[in-house]
Structure 1
């Protein structure tokens, strides 16, 4: 039976506590001192007045949200105090070393010593540890050693005891197995059992359930994107494929998140009326739309929706409310709206509505317009500082028509200087071009279909679309114009994995922040990769890229059409932070007959898969004239003319989804 030996002095337990505390405190302290948001690089810093005020406001909010004596700092202080106390205890506590009792070592003999040598060693050791031969203060030690010598001689002179020692390491034979635990004895002492039980009860039956209940009370009302479930239910009921920009804007304003984020006070009526007049006048001057909302209604729900709509519209028109309270609520509405549009995007993706998904990204978090504070159909050049609606006429000359920031970058420096000098000073020109050069010049340099391990794409195969995105330069744009395409002939293996950046790699480059002076928070660009059919308004699959620095390869999987032919699709890449920097690529998918992918030769030592297994059904489907697979234990009819329509109902993205494509080739 095993026996357990506890740490009598507690020295080993102290080292155990130090190790656990170090694992917790070191990362937490590093995160507290050097964590948080990354420092802005010189190329990311914009010196325009709006960006300076935004940085000051964000820094003030961070300082306000993170007081000097925060909970994290207090916990770190107590943690390091406990670490220092345990380290001190470990330094002053000696480790008790218990060695095995060895009669040969006591007498100073080898394991094969004879009886004569044992007797001689006994006399020498007895004389050495005789009390009369040692100082008086060593009398206790001498008595102890005399007893040890007597036991050692007795164990080695007795034949059976010596045999037990040589075989089992103990004069009495085999002993019980003993384990050492790094727990102090006071922790398992019977007198302290109630105290230890009380601590365990408080931790695991009171504190832990309370923390879980607190987390669950907040999380049960939210989805994974932190949107309230009642809000997602409204979006699901009211979102349809025909909603336009204004309808999406009104749908966002119905979210329940606004009822707890902003208030509806009668004292704000005068400021709201003043802001309404400013919005109405600005829309008439800058856009073709008109403000049609009437006076605030009596019911609170409609009044709240109208207030949110007013604040969000004023943000898109770059109007700062005259009231400080409304200005703060405008920033809150803009941030919440950026999150809410993610829910609209989820619903549009689940229903495969391509036009709604594109409109959502134009509007929301996915939010070109909210990020840049631009109303629908406003000029993309307004993203640059010092560019106003009044001087847009200089970009619309007869010889040159500058419609986007990319067009401005493509001009020669002399042409840029001549154009901007007509209405900007030298300092304003430098600031404008500094921001313009931060504008992402997105290029699709690779777009290719492939099926893993197959030479051709056959009907209903799982196809991988490989897309390579690059942020190019002015020279790349000129090359693309000459070649009339940005696609390159890349012979790199499609299945080759990209090198992954390790977390300890200090040279890992991060994506720069987007220039969004009107958005209340810092914004890192996110790129959405759409693959679908614009003619049929059908979204097939969607990808998300949030770490595009120079280049990135995206892999999207989808199911091939159910019959052979040529199918036209489009790849559209859109930014959630910049307007008019999208990239579009037309692709043609060639689906070959099933016979184009021949069966692979099988080794003789590999047995045939069972017919009822998935592998057996797939193999039988690939054989010409082979039997149809079994569904729910019943074999389907092999004649495609009689059973093809029924079988395709069970395939995601099957024949019904591709039936109306004008670009497909019929078998006839």
Structure 2
């Protein structure tokens, strides 16, 4: 290939014909900006015009991931809570955050950059092509004389010998020579007219559009320094900051220090009364800051709070947060100042992950009572219920005074399940409520889950359960797809979760557990365990307990009975499909390969045997024929014997040339 392409693509700033073209970079940068700006602007404008949609999608979704429509509680508190969320989202005071302002500035800057790129693209000329007339500075259709004259003048002007200090002169001289060739040589002229290149068609080149300043020699040092600063400083710094932040947290979102603390202090005897202080002593709680006004504000709270046990920790931040949690569970929110309420909300938000870790630690150590106690404490934090509080306090507008009426007389109830199962006429404690309050109670009762629990045990592909088998208990929860729970004292949106425990009824030991977070109408969980050695008659009873972590008093329990057989009592036959049996008679691939190899060897041996037998037969025929040449056996004549020896080496193909008695060679 000629040097024309290399010469034509050299980057020189002095000649406009050889100048670098920025149009590729402009198109690339504009396309990249549009890919970022269009979806970002759409989301920003949607959040600006419809601010509640983003809040609703996050806090108050309409449907579950499977498409089930959530059923929300229609009591006045929950309706007001949703309306307040709409108002907060629509308020400019809440929307004018630092994030909102930074997004607005970034969008304006990026759209302005796109505008500048568009203006620059509109002024860009077409990519310069090889034009011999423009290079020789003559008009289109010039005569041969004018072409030669222009070539002579331009070549003398840009000859390298006359321009030793001009590095552009050599490339310009070669370009002039190529232009002259394109106008005088027939083949070169035909290639230029057809392909735009005197050398003929060229290959397509694909590259990344880079801006001009990245290719300028004066900027190379600056670009290299910037690259190394980014690679050796910013990237490691970002990774180190991310690692320092993430190493504090476990995969569940709880701080590692909290897990270490809970692993040490959580015991088989831990109950609900111990849990508030454990949450107050967690790393998340200790990160909250004390204020100078806390002593005066907490004095009012401490006088009203009833401690369920003697305190174990004496650090000021732990003591303050401990009393805040007790004030929440005893519903003393009117005693809290706004700053203390803010701290309490932070504790309640962190309590979900902390209590989850407490339940999981108890499950791993097979402390069934501790695990169930932590579930009770978890829903006590959600519904603001103390250790001995009645589950009826979860009903809207209920207080200690109304509980006395519910516990006495006809149709008395003790827990939330009994109250919900009653008709509105049978329910007690509602006589002094106004219509709005009665509607709230009815809405709450309609919203609380009325879950049905069922369980069945089996061993896969077996009819009997034998000791040592891996059995599966299938637990089914049948109810309705519920939206967020009714929790007026909890700051965040909370969905129901069910903790399922499988225990041995006789010993009370924990066998298996599961956590169901699905809000669907129909939930199925499978618990697997190894069947123990049978005892006595082999009849075993399992207890399945489903505990709700959001409402107290709606737990469900059912029993599963099964009989365990010994190994010698049950003879299990392995069922083999007829098609599988037929496969046993088929040779394996290895056998097929050996069989084919054996057949080849056997066929070769048979061919050799057949050839040897044919040769022996032929030799016998030759011997018999040699004995009949003189009318007597070959053994009675020495000549005949000699002839026999001669014919022993006779090949079968010479049979047609055997002489007869009529040949003169053998006369007499």
Instruction: Indicate whether the TM-score tops 0.5.
Output: yes
Distance 1:536 1:575 in 2: 24
Q: Quick check: 2:467–2:533 contact (8 Å CA) kept in 1?
A: yes
Q: CA 1:551–1:329 in 2, change beyond 3 Å: closer, same or farther?
A: same
Distance 1:574 1:358 in 2: 8
Partner in structure 2 of residue 394 of structure 1: 405
Report whether the alignment pairs 1:44 with 2:73: yes
Give per-residue Cα distances to partners, 1:589-616, cap 9 Å, x unaligned: 566658537265654479799xxxxxxx
Distance 2:564 2:42 in 1: 53
Instruction: Give the match's secondary structure for 1:12.
Output: helix
Partner in structure 1 of residue 650 of structure 2: none
Partner in structure 2 of residue 598 of structure 1: 574
Quote how far apart the aligned CAs of 1:469 are: 2.0
Quote how far apart the aligned CAs of 1:8 are: 4.2
Quote how far apart the aligned CAs of 1:515 are: 0.8
What count of residue pairs does the alignment treat as equivalent? 513
Q: Quick check: 2:416–2:552 contact (8 Å CA) kept in 1?
A: no
Q: CA 1:598–1:384 in 2, change beyond 3 Å: closer, same or farther?
A: same
Specify the structure having the higher radius of gyration (Cα).
2
Quote how far apart the aligned CAs of 1:178 are: 3.6
Q: Quick check: 2:504–2:510 contact (8 Å CA) kept in 1?
A: yes
In structure 1, which of residues 68, 89, 95 is the aligned counterpart of residue 96 of structure 2? Answer: 68
Partner in structure 2 of residue 263 of structure 1: 290
Q: Quick check: 1:514–1:523 contact (8 Å CA) kept in 2?
A: yes
Quote how far apart the aligned CAs of 1:421 are: 4.5
Distance 1:24 1:53 in 2: 31
In structure 2, which of residues 262, 266, 270 is the aligned counterpart of residue 239 of structure 1? Answer: 266
Q: Quick check: 1:51–1:517 contact (8 Å CA) kept in 2?
A: no
In structure 1, which of residues 405, 415, 419 is the aligned counterpart of residue 426 of structure 2? Answer: 415
Instruction: Give the match's secondary structure for 2:282.
Output: coil
In structure 1, which of residues 17, 29, 39 is the aligned counterpart of residue 44 of structure 2? Answer: 29
Partner in structure 1 of residue 442 of structure 2: 433
Partner in structure 1 of residue 531 of structure 2: 561
Partner in structure 1 of residue 364 of structure 2: 350
In structure 2, which of residues 505, 509, 512 is the aligned counterpart of residue 538 of structure 1? Answer: 509
Q: Quick check: 1:402–1:408 contact (8 Å CA) kept in 2?
A: yes
In structure 2, which of residues 550, 557, 577 is the aligned counterpart of residue 577 of structure 1? Answer: 550
Instruction: Give the match's secondary structure for 2:323.
Output: helix
Map 1:215-294 → 2, pairs under 5 A: 215-263=242-290, 265=292, 268-280=294-306
Q: Aligned-residue CA RMSD in angstroms?
A: 4.9
Q: Quick check: 2:30–2:117 contact (8 Å CA) kept in 1?
A: no
Q: Quick check: 2:470–2:531 contact (8 Å CA) kept in 1?
A: no
Q: More helix per residue: 1 or 2?
A: 2
Instruction: Give the match's secondary structure for 1:181.
Output: coil
Distance 1:422 1:211 in 2: 64
Partner in structure 1 of residue 624 of structure 2: none
Partner in structure 2 of residue 89 of structure 1: 117
Q: Quick check: 2:544–2:558 contact (8 Å CA) kept in 1?
A: yes
TM-score, with length taken from structure 2: 0.63
Q: Quick check: 1:447–1:466 contact (8 Å CA) kept in 2?
A: yes
Q: Quick check: 2:402–2:429 contact (8 Å CA) kept in 1?
A: no
Quote how far apart the aligned CAs of 1:368 are: 1.0
Distance 1:144 1:457 in 2: 96
Q: Quick check: 1:531–1:542 contact (8 Å CA) kept in 2?
A: yes
Q: Quick check: 1:459–1:561 contact (8 Å CA) kept in 2?
A: yes
Partner in structure 1 of residue 641 of structure 2: none
Q: CA 1:600–1:516 in 2, change beyond 3 Å: closer, same or farther?
A: same
Give per-residue Cα distances to partners, 1:178-224, cap 9 Å, x unaligned: 43334345434444333333443454433333333222222222222
Report whether the alignment pairs 1:318 with 2:318: no
Instruction: Give the match's secondary structure for 1:261.
Output: coil
Report whether the alignment pairs 1:305 with 2:315: no
Quote how far apart the aligned CAs of 1:362 are: 0.7
Partner in structure 2 of residue 627 of structure 1: none
In structure 1, which of residues 327, 332, 347 is the aligned counterpart of residue 346 of structure 2? Answer: 332
Instruction: Give the match's secondary structure for 1:374.
Output: coil
Partner in structure 2 of residue 550 of structure 1: 521
Distance 2:448 2:492 in 1: 19
Unaligned runs of 5+ in 2: 11-19, 63-70, 131-138, 144-149, 152-175, 591-668
Distance 2:46 2:270 in 1: 45
Q: CA 1:540–1:566 in 2, change beyond 3 Å: closer, same or farther?
A: same
Quote how far apart the aligned CAs of 1:275 are: 2.3
Report whether the alignment pairs 1:154 with 2:209: no
TM-score, with length taken from structure 1: 0.63
Quote how far apart the aligned CAs of 1:462 are: 5.1
Unaligned runs of 5+ in 1: 102-127, 133-138, 281-289, 473-509, 610-668
Partner in structure 2 of residue 469 of structure 1: 477
Moved more, 333-342 or 84-93: 84-93
Q: CA 1:450–1:77 in 2, change beyond 3 Å: closer, same or farther?
A: farther
Distance 2:259 2:287 in 1: 17
